[in-house]
Chains A and B, each alone.
Chain A
Amino acid sequence: MIINHPLLGPRDRQEFTYLGDACLIDRPGWQAEDAMDQFFEYVYLRDDPAGEHRELWYHEHGDRSWLVVTRNTVTHEITNVELASDVARKQGRSK
């Protein structure tokens, strides 16, 4: 499997380590009224689709950037790769 790094170009999957669903970027606020419920869902529950999946990959043996990779979990076809920091900024985060 080849991941097309937005800065470094096509890299072998073995340079990366995997974390999981990209929803892990959106950590809930700890001061919310229902913070317990939100954290339960954030830490433990997953959509786990058979098909397109947005997920976090870490370029451990490379530039150590976090990527959001859109990959099909049935065919392993990768359709989009973004820097996780770009994704977070697009959502209005400072970093």
Chain B
Amino acid sequence: MGFGIAPISVETDRFHELGAIKEKNAMSYSGLRVIREALNGQRGWKPAWRNPEPKPNYDIIVIGGGGHGLATAHYLVTKYGEKSIAVVEKGWIGSGNAGRNTTIVRGDYTLPPNTRFYDHSVGLWEKMERELNFNVMHSQRGVLFLHHNDAERDDHYRKTNIMRMQGTDGEILGPEKLRKMYPSMNFDGRFPITGAYLHRRGGTARHDAVVWGYARSADRRGVDILQNCEVTGFRIEQGKVLGIETTHGFIGAKKVGVSVAGNTSRVMDMAGIRTPIESHVLQAFVSEGLKPIIPGQVNYGAGHFYISQSDKGGLVMGGDLDKYNSCAQRGNLPVFESVIEAAVTLFPMLSRARLLRAWGGLQDMTMDGHAVIDETPIKGLYLNGGWCYGGFKATPAAGECFAHLLSTEQPHELAKPYRLDRFRTGYLLDEKGQGPNPNRQ
């Protein structure tokens, strides 16, 4: 796949093509380019995307300039050949959940539809940097889930067996191997660590870079990214969407895709649709930059806690939801306390590290803990939402599936189980068997 140019639809024009290739080489990022710019006083860099004024009409408008919305725009042009697309974003791109997560990418699910979807997603992550010509710092450093007793161990054997039967990787490690991998971990605490399962293809990525990479790719192919343009309503006549009302006025569209993690309930409410979603806050914390001490991503088994170390050295940590509906984008202290307790239990030396920042992201918690990529009862209005706290790792696959749906008006093969009406028909995707209790997931 090439980058940098819109697909040329007219009869091939030799000069046009040569010019485009030249432009592509001048614009793409590479080691050579870094050296050239260094010798040139860094004067050749250009903004990675434009800041255009809205046009009166588009074929397709995607609401939400996060990872999912921009990935959707990217796939709409590159894979489905759509030409008239806008992405509208109420703030700046990546200012919602794409900038408020713990950057974990993994595909360790058990229900077959989820395994297929996330396996595909991990595959797309693996080739994302080449596809986008952008360093998203995707690092498959391994995701580790600890167990502390026989029941948890049995459950991990069951889970990894299911994963392996479906072609995803997962292996059980005993305490000896773990001690070599994580010498700083406290193995003999209140809940001694008896082993873990390791998902080697899992890892982390640089969250902002994913947003920027997709934005740059989509923009260079003619997608208008309209920042600081908040949607205030839909124009719907006779059950069909005609466009969106925004703070920049009305923008017409044949089709509108909603991809606004955390705000799905409120945006769908503007179209008069009630959703199977509650909004909850999930907090995350990052420490000051430290020397490399945690090589992979670790999930505690005796409490809800997970940790990894960013390439800058900050320890990125998170835990439970706040457990009551919240649209506050900030968290409460009891969860903060439990996360730090678990951190110090697992890695005692962290008691001397200082926290740098904390943040809270709004999660679209659905009634079965899984997402929706589907049409809505309003013709021309489509929804990609309800990703609970797992949207980041789904970014490329969700973008591809949503682009497929918006362009062809048919669900993508991988997204067929992610129907909006599954709550009515009973085909739920309740990976944890929690029932309709979003605050307990």
Q: List residues of A whose CB falls within 8 A of some B CB.
A: 1, 13-14, 17-21, 40-41, 43-51, 53, 55, 71, 73-76
Contacts and interface: CB of A to CB of B under 8 A. Distances in A.
Given A18-B439, A44-B276, A46-B275, A76 B328 contact: yes
B160 interface: no
A18 B324 CA distance: 6
B424 A47 contact: no
The main secondary structure of chain A at its interface with chain B is mixed
Nearest to A12: B334
Contacts of A45: 274-276, 423
B326 A73 contact: yes
Contact of B266 (A13, A19, A50): A50
B325 A44 contact: no
Given A45-B274, A46-B274, A50-B279, A55 B325 contact: yes
Nearest to B423: A44
5 contacts: A14-B334, A47-B269, A48-B265, A55-B325, A73-B279
A70 to B, nearest CB: 12
A47 B274 contact: yes
A75 B325 CA distance: 12
B320 interface: no
B267 to A, nearest CB: 11
B265 A46 contact: yes
B436 A73 contact: no
Contacts of B324: 18, 55, 71
A1 B274 contact: no
Contacts of A43: 367, 423, 436
A50 to B, nearest CB: 4
Nearest to A24: B436
Contact of B279 (A14, A48, A55): A48
A41 B266 CA distance: 17
A40 B326 contact: no
A75 B328 contact: yes
Nearest to B436: A43
Interface in B261-308: 265-266, 269, 274-279
A44 B279 contact: no
B327 A73 contact: yes
Given A14-B334, A20-B278, A20-B437, A44 B367 contact: yes
Contact of A46 (B277, B323, B328): B277
Contacts of B332: 1, 13
A74 B327 contact: yes
A44 B365 CA distance: 11
A18 B277 contact: no
A21 to B, nearest CB: 8
Contact of A20 (B325, B327, B334, B423): B325
A49 B277 CA distance: 11
A43 B366 CA distance: 12
Nearest to A76: B328
A34 B436 CA distance: 21
A18 B323 contact: yes
Contacts of B269: 47
Contact of B325 (A14, A17, A40, A53): A53
Nearest to A53: B325
A38 B279 CA distance: 22
Interface centre among A43, A44, A47 (most CB of B within 10 A): A44
Given A18-B439, A43-B367, A48 B325 contact: yes
Nearest to B324: A18
Nearest to B328: A74
Contacts of B276: 44-46
Contact of A76 (B278, B326, B334, B439): B326
Nearest to B333: A1
Given A17-B323, A43-B367, A48-B277, 16 more contacts: A1-B332, A20-B278, A20-B439, A21-B278, A21-B325, A44-B276, A44-B423, A45-B274, A45-B275, A46-B265, A46-B278, A48-B279, A50-B279, A71-B324, A73-B279, A74-B328
Contacts of A14: 334
A65 B275 CA distance: 29
Contacts of A47: 265, 269, 274
Contacts of A76: 326, 328
Contacts of B279: 48, 50, 73
Interface in B231-285: 265-266, 269, 274-279
Interface centre among A13, A17, A48, A51 (most CB of B within 10 A): A48
